[in-house]
Amino acid sequence: MTGYYPEEVYCDKGYRGKKVHEGLQCKVLIPGTKQKVTAVQKQRLQRRNAIEPVIGHLKEDHGMARNYLKGRIGDEINALMASCGFNLKKLLKSIRAFCLN
C-alpha cells in the first residue's frame, strides 16, 4: 500500500511451507522453525503472539473475516475501515470511563 517493504516479517505457524514468501524482498521469521534468531527477533516473535487475540477480535467483530469489496483497493479499504472501527470503539470506551468517574 505504501511502497515501503520491511526488512523482516514476523508470521504465525500457519505461514510455514508457503511458496509465496520466497519472492518477497524481506526475511520471513516463523516461530518453531529451525532458523537462527537473535534475542531481539525472539522478542518480536513473542510480541507477534501477544497481538494474536487482537487480530482474532478484528476478524470476529470488525469485519476482517470476510471481505466483500473487490480487488486490492477493496482489501485496503476493508483493512482501513476495520482498524478505524476498532480504534473508535477503544476511544468511546475510554471517554465513557472518563465521564463516569
pLDDT along the chain (101 residues), means of 10: 79 71 76 80 81 79 78 85 88 92 76
Structural domain contains residue 83: no
* Structural domain span for residue 34: 1-50
Structural domain contains residue 43: yes
Domain count, the chain: 1
Structural domain contains residue 25: yes
Structural domain contains residue 96: no
CA atoms of 38 and 45, how far apart (whole Å): 11
Structural domain contains residue 37: yes
Structural domain contains residue 14: yes
| pTM over the 0.85 mark | no
Structural domain contains residue 84: no
Structural domain contains residue 12: yes
Task: Give the per-residue pLDDT at 91.
Answer: 94
Task: Give the per-residue pLDDT at 21.
Answer: 67
